[in-house]
């Protein structure tokens, strides 16, 4: 096999007429390793240097990993070879010319031959010609290296971190992504299917989907559908990157058992809102409920408010769901006292609801998790509940305040597109949906102020106001 030439100088530099490999060291390891790692290749031929560099780059990157992990954390030889093969596969995927591809293919073949080693025996084949026998373990390692480097056996999770990084996902959705891939890889191992992108055909995806309800330990059909949808989104990204030909998971969730139908979650009634606001709630719970009822905002964006988000008569909520930018909502007159009290004496980055701080560590839970639990306990305590057999959640929850706000605004005659803009729903129609930058604040304020709390007098709330005033 002739050796192609190459003009590629990535990872290479000349030193006294010879080529050497050079790679940058991450800044946090400069104290241990210096700013760059270098290794001489002892050749003045760029083509030969390009053949030799990939193994050296892999070894130098393993040295960086070893320095970061500390003693006992050195990668195995298999890990180093896998890294080398993956680097070659990535370079093949990015090759722009046939010459570059030929060079890389030659390097892969040369390296696989080196890993296979010399024959351990020679036997005649059926025609009497010599057939070379290689060490089985080395032969298997060489075959695995070649398949990985040639893009013929790409591990399922190889590009998953890149996908996650590009998708801007919430912690909980990231967790679903990781679990979905973990289920798929484990299923492949049990069923002797190669855990590679190339091996996951539509037929394999169907088999996995049929087995998923049992493999996932009785999780609900809704959760299983979520896992399949996350796999589909990963495959769509891979397809856009030209790493797979098609999304084999498209609409495959239809094979799952049907989600049980039943009554939908609903808005609070006026009587339920009155009961919630006149119960023996803590000050922070009372404030939280009133913000939910008079903004139509989701719980998570309310507890995530900063003092700087409460300025110029507006509450600015972070984007959620399919929103692409923060959303400002006029402060309802009935909320002015709450906002002023909670912002008094605090700086812009301080929390409006410090009672419910963000989760610590690597928790996938949203910041509102504890606030939601506290509200559920209080809601049940005052007798606002509706539980249906077979449904995990009550038909009423904190989100019912959002539904109640939308209902009241609609009953007050507010235009549908203005209500949608206030609560962050996608507005219908080409003109308002695509070309309008949003309703005027005056229109939004009119919509917000059209919503009135039930006409109840709560002496306990008056007592809490007096108590809060003494604390300021």
Q: With 60 as the cut, is the pLDDT of residue 432 above it? A: no
- The backbone torsions φ and ψ at residue 242, rounded to the nearest 5 degrees and listed phi first, read 60, 35
pLDDT at residue 364 greater than cutoff 70:
no
393-398-369 Cα angle (round to 5): 80
Q: What is the rounded distance in angstroms from the CA atom of residue 356 to the CA atom of residue 362?
A: 17
- Tell me what the mean pLDDT of segment 251-268 comes to: 85
Mean pLDDT of 382-405: 91
Percent of the chain with pLDDT over 70: 90
pLDDT at 107: 87
pLDDT score, position 86: 82
Report, as an integer, the average pLDDT of 401-426. 94
Name the residue with higher pLDDT: 90 or 183: 183
Does the pLDDT at position 306 exceed 90? Answer: yes
Say yes or no to pLDDT of 466 above 50: no
Task: Give me the pLDDT at residue 313, please.
Answer: 93
Backbone angles phi, psi at 78, to 5 degrees: -60, -40
Q: What is the pLDDT of residues 27-59, one digit of tens each?
A: 988 888 899 999 998 888 888 888 788 888 888
pLDDT tier for residue 373 given thresholds of 50, 70 and 90: very high
User: For 99-103, 113-117, 134-138, 390-394, which range has the lowest pLDDT when averaged over its residues?
Assistant: 390-394
Q: 283-301 pLDDT, tens per residue?
A: 999 999 999 999 999 999 9
pLDDT of residue 284: 96
Quick one: pLDDT band at residue 470, thresholds 50, 70, 90? very low
Q: Which residue has the higher pLDDT, 88 or 182?
A: 182
pTM: 0.63
| pLDDT digit string, tens, across residues 100-126 | 888 888 888 988 998 999 999 988 888
Residues 322-326, mean pLDDT to the nearest whole number: 81
- pLDDT greater than 80 at residue 452: yes
Q: What is the average pLDDT score of the chain?
A: 87
Domains and CATH numbers, the chain: 12-149 (no CATH), 160-255 (no CATH), 270-471 (1.10.443.10)
């Amino acid at each position: 096999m002739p050796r192609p030439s190459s003009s590629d100088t990535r990872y290479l530099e000349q030193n006294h007429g010879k080529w050497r490999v050079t790679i940058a060291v991450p800044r946090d390891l400069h104290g241990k390793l210096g700013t760059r790692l270098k290794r001489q290749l002892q050749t003045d031929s760029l083509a030969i240097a390009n053949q030799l560099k990939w193994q050296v780059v892999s070894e130098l990157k393993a040295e960086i990993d070893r320095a970061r992990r500390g003693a006992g954390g050195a990668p195995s030889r298999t890990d180093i070879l896998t890294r080398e093969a993956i680097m070659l596969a990535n370079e093949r995927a990015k090759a722009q010319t046939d010459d570059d591809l030929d060079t890389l293919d030659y390097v892969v073949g040369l390296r696989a031959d080196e890993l296979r080693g010399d024959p351990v025996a020679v036997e005649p084949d059926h025609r009497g010609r010599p057939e070379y026998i290689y060490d089985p373990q080395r032969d298997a390692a060489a075959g695995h290296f070649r398949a990985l480097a040639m893009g013929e056996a790409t591990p399922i999770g190889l590009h998953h971190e890149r996908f996650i990084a590009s998708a801007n996902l919430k912690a909980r959705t990231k967790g679903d992504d990781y679990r979905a891939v973990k289920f798929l890889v484990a299923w492949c191992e049990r069923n002797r299917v190669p855990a590679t992108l190339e091996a996951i055909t539509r037929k394999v995806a169907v088999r996995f989907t049929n087995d998923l309800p049992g493999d996932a330990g009785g999780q609900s059909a809704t959760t299983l559908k979520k896992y399949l949808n996350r796999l589909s989104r990963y495959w769509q990204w891979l397809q856009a990157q030209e790493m797979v030909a098609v999304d084999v998971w498209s609409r495959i969730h239809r094979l799952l058992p049907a989600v049980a139908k039943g009554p939908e979650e609903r808005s609070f009634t006026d009587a339920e809102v009155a009961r919630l606001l006149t119960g023996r709630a803590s000050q922070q719970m009372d404030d939280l409920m009133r913000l939910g009822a008079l903004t139509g905002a989701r719980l998570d964006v309310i507890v995530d408010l900063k003092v700087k988000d409460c300025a110029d008569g507006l509450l600015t909520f972070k984007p959620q769901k399919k929103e692409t930018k923060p959303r400002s909502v006029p402060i309802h007159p009935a909320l002015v006292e709450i906002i002023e009290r909670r912002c008094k004496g605090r700086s812009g980055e301080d929390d409006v609801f410090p009672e419910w701080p963000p989760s610590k560590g690597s928790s996938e839970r949203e910041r509102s998790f504890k606030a939601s639990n506290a509200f559920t306990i209080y809601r049940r305590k005052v007798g606002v509940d509706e539980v249906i057999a077979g449904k995990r959640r009550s038909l009423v929850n904190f989100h019912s305040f959002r539904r109640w706000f939308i209902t009241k605004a609609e009953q007050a005659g507010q235009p549908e597109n203005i209500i949608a803009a206030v609560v962050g729903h996608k507005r219908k129609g080409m003109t308002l949906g695509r070309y309008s930058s949003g309703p005027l604040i005056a229109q939004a304020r009119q919509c917000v102020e059209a919503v009135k709390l039930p006409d109840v007098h709560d002496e306990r709330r008056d007592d809490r106001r007096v108590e809060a005033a003494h604390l300021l």
